[in-house]
Amino acid sequence: MSSKPGKTAPRLLQDLVTYDPRYEERAGRNLLTTAPPHLDPSAEPSRQVPIRNCRHIFMAKDEQSVRPKAGEDPSHDTVYKIAAVCSKCRWHLDLLVDFRDYNSENKPCRTNTDYPVHHFIYQEDNYPQRDPFGNQNVPRSYRFLCSAPSCPVELKIRLLPPRFSEQDITILTNKMHLRRRLETARQLGGDRADAHMARPVDALDFLNTYLTDALNPQKGKSRIPLLNRKFLKTFGKDCDKILRSLGFTNAQETEEDGTQVEVWYLPKPPPPSHPLSYDTERTVIEDARHELNILILGFPESERSGVRHPMIPPQPSAHDIERALGCLDYDRKSRPAARHLSYEEDHPYYAGLGALGDFSDPLLLFAFARQMQVDLKNSPYYFECLQEIAKGRKSSLLEENVAILASQGQCNRKELAAAYRFIGMEMEHAQHLSDDFIISQFRARLQDIGPSQAEESRVQLRIIGQARQSEQIKREASDAIETYDQALSWLDLEAAHSDEFVAIMFTIKVNEKASSKAIATRAVQIIAEYRNSQRLRDFLENGIMQGNAEMDVAEAYALFDINNRAEALDLEVLQAHKDAYIQGNPASKTKYEQAYALIYTDQKECHKVQNQSGYVPRKQYPLDSWPVGCQNIGNTCYLNSVLQFLFTIKPLRDMVLNCNEHLEEISPEALATKRVGRMPVTPEKAEKAQQFVQELKKLFQHMINAPTTTVRPETKLAALALAKTDALVEVADQPAPDPSLGQIEGKPIMGPMPKPDGLTGSTQADSVMDDDNDSTAAEMDIEEDYTKDLNTTTDGRPDAVSMPQPPSRPPPVPPRPQATAEANSTLKKTIEGLAEQQDAAEILNNIFDLLSCAIEGNGTLRDGEQDDLIKQLFFSDVTTVRITPDGKTSSNSALQDNYMISPGHRNRPLYAALDDEFSLTELESDKAAKASKFELIDHASPIQIINVRRLVYEGGRTIKDESHLGLDSTLYLDRYFRGTRSHPEEELQALREKQWNLQQRLKTLECDKKRLTETAHKISLSEAVEETSHLLENHARADEANLIDLDEDTVPVYPGLVTQLRDRAGELQNKSRSIVEELKSIDEEINSIFMDCKDQPYRLHSIFMHRGTAAGGHYWIFIHDFQKGIWRKYNDEYVDEVESISDIFEQEARNPATSTGIVYVQANRADELTEAVRRDPQRVDIVMKDAEEQYEDIQIINGVEQSP
Ligand SMILES: [Zn+2]
Ligand SMILES: [Zn+2]
């Protein structure tokens, strides 16, 4: 594939306007056909276009043009030609845009399609463009093709030097020359000569007149006697060469009186030909006239009075050129109009992308994508361009795309150069080297460096592999570990270290650098095989190390007599300590080394030097009254959304900040009756949970006190929040979780609630993983047991049959292949994709669980479940009523902290999606029994979390449902309540039943619509029928033309069939239109049923957002500040006010960001329950006891006193 950058049409046009063939040498390159050299950010900014270059203003030469008409679309045989002349330098331009595609059904680029503008690649021709003698005044011609896959456009640009050279003009207009001519005329003509010399404008004017006559020949006007007085004093004999070059001819003639006279004859050009045909003598004359026109207009009006031809001001052809190139109204950034002619240049990064500074963000992304497509080799540079422009523009759309690209491994030049340097090469050279050579260099280098550097160099090699799109290099980067020794050294281990420690180092390495996961896994695999350790294999399988760890971080610190872990240590001093300890007690060498490694990594994590990337907040917000941003640690922006959300829940925040007053006493007595999520809480679990709360407290204090605009959540906090807390301690007495699920990149794959015993049916049932057939079945069994306790039939007797508990959600997605050991890795990949989507919801559940485990309860709920602040804020009591066809109902109540809804593949209001969950539905699992269920809220928590199931498993793959959920700023929950103040249960139930009937109708219609709109051919049924009628018609015609049947296969002709089909197509189309109408009106009717049910208003508080695909993307959160009445967007380190509210409530047209979680807060308590801003920034030199790590880094560095 060719690897050559291109230019979007607007860019090419801009370059054309500044390209001056006369000064090409000065520019150092051909501005039109070449891309600018890659910007060197460290060099002095330099001008791309020499100041002397003409900024052309092209004027139309209509008679030579085929102009596009306004509003006309080019067709399969369109060719536009814009002929023009620059009114400043008089160079001529022929711009030929050729759309001819010889009927290959191509689609030229145009606005509002995937290819909104052309992207031109210069096609080098084989003949030289320059004059061999260095003369710049020679014609140039350049050919470009559009790079869009189905765009046929070929562009030819021809530039021709002026017909009149500077010298010609001097001869024609210089006053000295004119005076001399007058004198010569007087000598020759005597009395007949004029008294006054010719004006400079006259030569041009006369010439113009002659040429006009030449183009419109009239009898008797073709001959000019040289002795004509005007001619003599204006041209004399000086201008012969000019006249001849224009096609004038001269001759000696004998007058009637016998005298010899010299005469000139006007040129005799051929008649006008089609503008697209070759240049003729006529073209030369037309060009000359255009130039004369320009030259004459260049005289001040006083000096050109009385010229023969009333001057018609030439018309600029900029619009025609833009229209022909399809960039008349490309998508511009909203700011004052483009400035094609300004001498001020765009930042070179724009030119790098073949774009202009006035491009809108989406168009810039298009330009970027085109460059990446045609010139992958330079992708790091293009990425850098995009990155820097995103920063410069402070555009969240661009920044999101940059973030997504970065998460996919895209790197910029700096990173790539660093990567090459790391393995001892220079980027500039390496680009010309083969993959094999680079790998051999890398291997050679591995021999001389230590294990820690080796790891890093593999990471760097991976970057190179990614940039070169080389699978071979990427493979080399991840599979470099082959032997047991290599595996140990990669993990910084020694043979004496235990399996436990192998697992610890694995986790640490992966935490430090998520991208090293593949290598780390390989290393542990090798160790597991070598040692034949089932525990390590299990660890790889499910992310859990069974049994107790030999040493934890606290112990490690204790071993070295270090009391204050929060303090940053001088690691060299620490190493000296270690050596001293080992000398004193060589038998415990392994133990000390382990402890040292643990402390080392703990220190690295806790005291990382602050991010020096030097991000400047886009808009300056007051430090002391604006929320802080959370820097992204690893691939976890959903975590930041969750943390920011929690911070704004005031009672929760206050509790965490004062957590020491609320922590549960960890003693067997205190924990004996404690139940969280229907599970007993072991001391280990409580301790873990309390560690988490302490970490969260630290973060919250940072968020309040940080003297900066951002804080960095600790990796430890993330690990605790993401880890499946129970797994470590509960594993012994729980059935092992499905071994194929475990942790992926440290994130739990199952719902955070302990799976088998889950009280909150919907919470865990809704984890995507439960869509796996097996686990659904398992969960149903367990819920069945649970149902036994609670179930009562309407007649009061326990429901002896005890049917399986109905799932509180729509039917599971189609089954996926059963995971086998071999298929594990691919399944894990799928799961990883799924898990990523659900993270925000899961992590929130996990955190609620941790908080409840950590704190003291203030009562008990059903089944001994601990009542506490978390329950009171987030958990609603929801009853599922199950109805069998014989009218028996049974019900079951559960506490749940969220509702899971589906967008349902169509844009609709939130109510409609909630209705799906709550209203009467047939139980898929129970089809035979024809049972159905609905749900009621018995008690609604003041904070309602609604999770949106965005991932759908369809046709063998996971896709994202991007349908829009319309949000109201106030949501009335009345219709889901059992009863309200104004509407007792019976009344509400009657309304509900009315609604269910309508919904039934809705469902039928949806099926009808599906049949009408979805056919196997990806077109609607009516279109299919219509197409068929066309086909038949064509057949019939072809048959008529042939007059005989050629073979037996011809379609039999039924008279009238074509018409019937066409009518039918029309009917179908009407039908589907009316269905859509009816769907809409039923939606409205359903909504109106509950019009006056407004006892339970909830106000929109926050929305978790995601942009990307099922495979990954970027998360952020919108949070409403009820005190200030504004919305903010929390996007990792940036917290910005949302300026246009439509960003939140409306859907974008392309790759829309979608809501994944929606939070409403009880209307009358919104102020009390939420508070978006709590800030009290401390100055840097005041070190807070609990929040010191963050800033201590600034001051410490080697300055820590170390007790000997
Ligand atoms: Zn010019
Ligand atoms: Zn195109």
| Residue 817, pLDDT score | 31
Q: Would you say residue 10 has pLDDT above 50? A: yes
Please tell me the number of the ligand nearest to residue 58's CA. Answer: 1
Handedness of CA 587, 592, 594, 597 (dihedral sign): negative
In the reported structure, the alpha carbon of residue 986 is separated from the centroid of ligand 1 by a whole-number distance in angstroms of 84
| Beta carbons of 946 and 1160 less than 8 angstroms apart | yes
In the reported structure, the alpha carbon of residue 960 is separated from the centroid of ligand 1 by a whole-number distance in angstroms of 53
Instruction: Give 681-684 contacts, CB < 8 A, sequence gap 24+.
Output: 681/853, 682/729, 682/730, 684/728, 684/729
Looking at per-residue pLDDT, the higher value among 481 and 708 belongs to 708
Torsion of the alpha carbons at 227, 229, 235 and 237, rounded to the nearest 10: 30
Q: Whole-model pTM?
A: 0.49
Please tell me the number of the ligand nearest to residue 6's CA. Answer: 2
Partners of 947 in the beta sheet? 900, 1157
Please tell me the number of the ligand nearest to residue 152's CA. Answer: 2
In the reported structure, the alpha carbon of residue 162 is separated from the centroid of ligand 1 by a whole-number distance in angstroms of 10
What angle in degrees, to the nearest 10, is found between the helix axes of 1057-1089 and 1021-1042? 170
Q: Would you say residue 22 has pLDDT above 90? A: no
| Mean pLDDT within 55-72 | 90
In the reported structure, the alpha carbon of residue 58 is separated from the centroid of ligand 1 by a whole-number distance in angstroms of 7
Gyration radius (Cα) of the chain, Å: 40
| Beta carbons of 895 and 865 less than 8 angstroms apart | yes
**Residue 341's pLDDT band (cuts 50, 70, 90):** very low
| Residue 812, pLDDT score | 31
In the reported structure, the alpha carbon of residue 152 is separated from the centroid of ligand 2 by a whole-number distance in angstroms of 7
Burial annotation 1167-1190 (CB, 10 A radius, 16+ → b, else e) = eebbbbbbeebeeeeeeeeebbbb
| Beta carbons of 518 and 612 less than 8 angstroms apart | no
Query: What φ, ψ does residue 67 adopt, rounded to 5°?
Result: -90, 145
In the reported structure, the alpha carbon of residue 36 is separated from the centroid of ligand 2 by a whole-number distance in angstroms of 22
Residue 146 Cα distances to 2, 4, 123, 374, angstroms: 13, 12, 10, 11
Closest CA to 210 of 256, 155, 266, 263: 266
In the reported structure, the alpha carbon of residue 1029 is separated from the centroid of ligand 1 by a whole-number distance in angstroms of 57
In the reported structure, the alpha carbon of residue 329 is separated from the centroid of ligand 2 by a whole-number distance in angstroms of 15
Please tell me the number of the ligand nearest to residue 18's CA. Answer: 1
| Mean pLDDT within 63-86 | 90
Tokens of 908: 């609709």
| Mean pLDDT within 18-27 | 84
| Residue 1036, pLDDT score | 61
Which of 389-398, 904-913, 1065-1074 has the weakest average pLDDT? 1065-1074
Which is it for strands 79-86 and 58-60: parallel, antiparallel or unpaired?
antiparallel
Residue 1049 Cα distances to 27, 664, 1046, angstroms: 67, 85, 8
| Beta carbons of 694 and 662 less than 8 angstroms apart | no
| Residue 644, pLDDT score | 93
| Mean pLDDT within 140-158 | 92
Please tell me the number of the ligand nearest to residue 91's CA. Answer: 1
Count Cβ atoms below 10 Å from residue 853 Cβ, excluding itself: 27
Distance in angstroms (rounded) separating the CA atoms of residues 979 and 132: 94
Closest CA to 898 of 765, 1098, 756, 762: 762
Tens digits of per-residue pLDDT, 265-294? 899 999 888 888 888 899 999 999 999 999
Which of 642-651, 749-758, 1039-1048, 1089-1098 has the weakest average pLDDT? 749-758
Report the Cα–Cα distance between both ends of the chain, in Å, rounded.
Answer: 65
Query: What φ, ψ does residue 798 adopt, rounded to 5°?
Result: -60, 140
| Residue 2, pLDDT score | 54
Distance in angstroms (rounded) separating the CA atoms of residues 124 and 851: 68
**Residue 566's pLDDT band (cuts 50, 70, 90):** low
Distance in angstroms (rounded) separating the CA atoms of residues 4 and 1062: 49
Closest CA to 151 of 108, 112, 104: 108
In the reported structure, the alpha carbon of residue 999 is separated from the centroid of ligand 2 by a whole-number distance in angstroms of 47
Please tell me the number of the ligand nearest to residue 162's CA. Answer: 1
> Across the chain, what does the average pLDDT equal?
77
Closest CA to 804 of 827, 765, 777: 777
Name the residue type at position 696. L
| Residue 670, pLDDT score | 82
Of all residues in the chain, the percent with pLDDT exceeding 90 is: 23
Looking at per-residue pLDDT, the higher value among 23 and 803 belongs to 23
Which is it for strands 951-954 and 957-960: parallel, antiparallel or unpaired?
antiparallel
Contacting residues for 765 by C-beta, under 8 A, at least 6 apart: 758, 776, 779, 807, 808, 809
Q: Which helix (H) or strand (E) covers residue 743, if one does?
A: strand 743-744
Please report where in the chains the tokens 């006054």 appear, as a residue. 196
| Beta carbons of 756 and 733 less than 8 angstroms apart | no
In the reported structure, the alpha carbon of residue 763 is separated from the centroid of ligand 2 by a whole-number distance in angstroms of 50
Residue 584 Cα distances to 23, 559, 579, 1116, angstroms: 79, 13, 9, 53
Q: 933-937, 1084-1088, 1142-1146: which has the highest mean pLDDT?
A: 933-937
Tens digits of per-residue pLDDT, 368-412? 999 998 988 888 899 999 999 998 888 889 998 988 888 777 888
In the reported structure, the alpha carbon of residue 354 is separated from the centroid of ligand 2 by a whole-number distance in angstroms of 14
**Residue 1187's pLDDT band (cuts 50, 70, 90):** very low
Which is it for strands 79-86 and 629-630: parallel, antiparallel or unpaired?
unpaired
| Residue 684, pLDDT score | 86
Please tell me the number of the ligand nearest to residue 161's CA. Answer: 1
Distance in angstroms (rounded) separating the CA atoms of residues 550 and 497: 11
| Beta carbons of 870 and 854 less than 8 angstroms apart | no
Closest CA to 879 of 758, 972, 989, 790: 790
Three-state secondary structure readout of 203-226: HHHHHHHHHHHHHCCCCCCCEEEC
Please tell me the number of the ligand nearest to residue 23's CA. Answer: 1
In the reported structure, the alpha carbon of residue 357 is separated from the centroid of ligand 1 by a whole-number distance in angstroms of 23
Count Cβ atoms below 10 Å from residue 56 Cβ, excluding itself: 24
Tens digits of per-residue pLDDT, 416-470? 888 888 878 887 777 678 888 888 888 877 777 766 677 778 788 888 888 887 7
Please tell me the number of the ligand nearest to residue 154's CA. Answer: 2
In the reported structure, the alpha carbon of residue 95 is separated from the centroid of ligand 2 by a whole-number distance in angstroms of 15
Tokens of 581: 């300890």
% helix / strand / coil in the chain, to the nearest 5?
45, 15, 40
In the reported structure, the alpha carbon of residue 31 is separated from the centroid of ligand 1 by a whole-number distance in angstroms of 14
Tens digits of per-residue pLDDT, 863-884? 888 999 999 999 999 999 988 8
| Residue 377, pLDDT score | 82
In the reported structure, the alpha carbon of residue 72 is separated from the centroid of ligand 2 by a whole-number distance in angstroms of 16
In the reported structure, the alpha carbon of residue 350 is separated from the centroid of ligand 2 by a whole-number distance in angstroms of 20
Tokens of 21: 């063939």
Please tell me the number of the ligand nearest to residue 59's CA. Answer: 1
Name the residue type at position 1082. I
| Residue 773, pLDDT score | 38
What angle in degrees, to the nearest 10, is found between the helix axes of 379-393 and 396-407? 150
In the reported structure, the alpha carbon of residue 374 is separated from the centroid of ligand 2 by a whole-number distance in angstroms of 13
Distance in angstroms (rounded) separating the CA atoms of residues 519 and 497: 19
In the reported structure, the alpha carbon of residue 154 is separated from the centroid of ligand 2 by a whole-number distance in angstroms of 9
Closest CA to 1134 of 393, 422, 620: 620
| Residue 840, pLDDT score | 65
Closest CA to 1026 of 994, 1071, 1058, 989: 1058
Tokens of 697: 């407290």
Distance in angstroms (rounded) separating the CA atoms of residues 94 and 805: 77
In the reported structure, the alpha carbon of residue 54 is separated from the centroid of ligand 1 by a whole-number distance in angstroms of 5
Name the residue type at position 197. M
| Residue 550, pLDDT score | 52
